[in-house]
Amino acid sequence: MIFMAMDSLRIGSGYDIHKFLEIMLFENTAKKLYLGGVLIEGHIGVAAHSDGDVVLHSLTDALLGALSLPDIGVLYPDNLKSTKEISSIEIIKYAYGLVKEKGYRLVNADITIITQTPKISAYKEQMINSVSSVLNVDMSRINIKGKTKEGLDSVGKQKAIEAFSVCLISSE
Ligand code: CDP
Ligand code: ZN
């Protein structure tokens, strides 16, 4: 058995990236873009087994990582038919449930979305509202911000969107 130090504070970090769909494919499948559980109307979607929400996926891994729990890909393998098109809200609720089962709660999470589009500032409040209500925590505990990649590499060329999350959890 792995010894788990019973610290009252634990920190976690998570990362995720998803590829934007090609325009042709987008028209064929009409897959939508979800960020923090918010539907970004009219924006091209991403390739994913689930709904491909990079915000919720990176935050899920941060929450799990804070307690050294198995990561999102272990809990929800992308080759399972039963979880195809699963909502990332369901995934993060399950992960946060595991954290709460161990006696911890979220102190705060800071999330950075890196993408050329959409402009995150336009959706920031909506996303913070959405994530905090999914986790049932106060809005002041969640921060979300956007950053471009200044046109550099795959994210800068609008081929993908990525997110980094850091969270602090407490047992007190
Ligand atoms: O100014 P700097 O080069 O540091 O950053 P940037 O990537 O050009 O982004 C400038 C500002 O735009 C960010 O600080 C965010 O407030 C906002 N932004 C956003 O809301 N959504 C994005 N997808 C990218 C940037
Ligand atoms: Zn993902």
For 133, the domain range is 13-171
What residues contact residue 35 under an 8 Å CB cut-off, 6+ apart? 53, 54, 55, 113, 118, 120, 123, 127, 161
Q: Measured from the CB, is residue 124 less than 6 Å from ligand 1? A: no
Q: d(Cα 149, Cα 66) in Å, to the nearest integer?
A: 27
Cα separation, 32 vs 40, whole angstroms? 7
In a domain, 151, yes or no: yes
CATH number of the domain residue 23 falls in: 3.30.1330.50
pTM confidence score = 0.92
Within a domain: 5: no
148 lines ligand 1 (CB under 6 A): yes
Q: How many structural domains compose the chain?
A: 1
Does residue 145 sit within a domain? yes
Six-digit token string for 124: 């920031």
**Residue of 127, 148, 153 to mutate, ligand 1, most atoms within 8 A of C-beta:** 148
Q: What is the pLDDT along the chain (172 residues), one digit of tens a residue?
A: 555 667 999 999 999 999 999 876 555 556 799 999 999 999 999 998 899 999 999 999 999 999 999 999 999 887 777 777 789 999 999 999 999 999 999 999 999 999 999 999 999 999 999 999 999 999 999 999 999 999 999 999 999 999 999 999 999 8
pLDDT of residue 79: 78
